[in-house]
Amino acid sequence: MENGGDRFKLVKAGKHQVVFVVKGPIYLVCISCNEEPFESLKGQLELIYGQMILILTKSINRSFEKNPKFDMTHLLGGTDDVFSSLIHSFSWNPATFLHAYTCLPLAYATRQAAGAILQDVADSGVLFAILMCKHKVISLVGAQKASLHPDDILLLSNFVMSSESFRTSESFSPICLPRYNPLAFLHAYVHFLDVDTYLMLLTTSSDAFYHLKDCRIRIETVLLKSNVLSEVQRSLLDGGIRVEDLHVAPLPRSGPLPDQVQQILQTDSPERPREPFVGIGGPAGLWHFIYRSIYLDQYVSSEFSPPLNNHQQQKRLYRAYLRLYASMHDKGIGPYKTQFKRDENYVLLCWVTQDFELYAAFDPLADKAEAIKTCNRVCQWLKGVENEIFLHGASPFSW
């Protein structure tokens, strides 16, 4: 298979899949026995390549053109933890397949306060100003007409979070954003404001360290005075959205359910339980969900709660989401608007509209009609708290 000059190959051997991605002189290979879709594995190799480009830029190809035997391992020295962290994220981070970023839940006024001071420094010559807590965005702004791809946010945060050197002192490092411009170096000023919260200021200038240091001092002063950092820590301790918090009582609707959902209800199996099913988790046995805003390129996912108690159960659900996402977006047989699947582990429901995508997991004994109604309530619930869970005002991504 070829795509824009790049080649993708798949070989199956029993339960194993071997996927090859050829990027010019660079060959990337992965072997999987987890029944992950080809598109998912290909996307993971693309992200690994993107992480490599973030460190080296695409100009590394010229080194291979001059010397086909060129060994680039010395250029990647000390980055083992970076790539290990990225590979580990393929088993837990929805951003790796949704191509969207997630925000730390915060009061609207708190996020606005952070965004205002970031905008001030962006107006002073900073290309991008990004404030994050672990892998979640607090706020970000860009210079006029500059947009940051969610994949670049993922790779940049992974690079910072997995490199111990960034935590010990303020840093000024050359980096490349593969989605923004794979051939050019930018320079990133990185400073941890506390153990979890860090600021990244990106510029095209290689001699902007002291200017960015001054910008950081201004930002940190405002964040402390406006209690943004304390609110960030409070949010981190409180955790994110929980399915148990979803109201059991029906929420008022402004109109009938969409046609796709009505169609699923009409095709419900006759043997489903007559009485509403009450299981562990949220209403109708809701265990977990992921909601992606298509316009904002942001997503929110619920916290894991019983019975998804251990990493093995959580990874199994994550892989189920991967397969569901791939089947929903399969151009050969789709794309679909809705899917409902039941097996021994879950009831899985996916609903895609022009505005959002919703992926939800229920108890395997959950009633189909109740599960669909619960998904509708989830969407209404999130609509009511969108100012706290999403970053508004950021430019939509044109990619």
Q: What is the pLDDT of residues 286-317, one digit of tens each?
A: 999 999 999 999 999 999 988 998 999 999 99
Which amino acid is present at 288? H
108-122 and 228-238 helices, crossing angle to 10°: 130
Q: How do residues 106-121 score in pLDDT, each as one tens digit? A: 999 999 999 999 999 9
First to last CA, the chain: 23
Strand order in the sheet with 128-133: 136-142, 128-133, 197-203, 186-192, 171-175
Average pLDDT over every residue of 210-227: 97
Contact 121, 221 (CB under 8 A): no
Q: Over the stretch 324-353, which tens digit does the pLDDT of each residue have?
A: 999 998 877 767 799 999 999 999 999 999
**Quick one: pLDDT at residue 200?**
98
Q: pLDDT, tens digit, for every residue of 139-163? A: 999 987 788 999 999 999 999 999 9
What does the pLDDT read at residue 24?
84
* Range(s) of the chain covered by CATH 3.30.450.190: 243-389
Percent of the chain whose predicted confidence (pLDDT) is above 90: 71
Torsions phi, psi for 339 (to 5 deg): -145, 145
* Contact in structure between 326 and 39 (CB atoms under 8 Å): yes
- Give me the CATH code for the 243-389 domain, please: 3.30.450.190
Assigned token pair, 229? 């950092």
- The per-residue pLDDT for range 47-75, each reduced to its tens digit, is 999 999 999 988 888 888 888 888 888 88
Q: 101-238, which class in CATH?
A: alpha beta
Q: For the whole model, what pTM was predicted?
A: 0.89
Q: What is the pLDDT of residues 230-259, one digit of tens each?
A: 999 999 999 999 999 986 544 444 444 455
Residues of the chain with CATH 3.30.450.30: 101-238
The pLDDT, as a whole number, for residue 273 is: 44
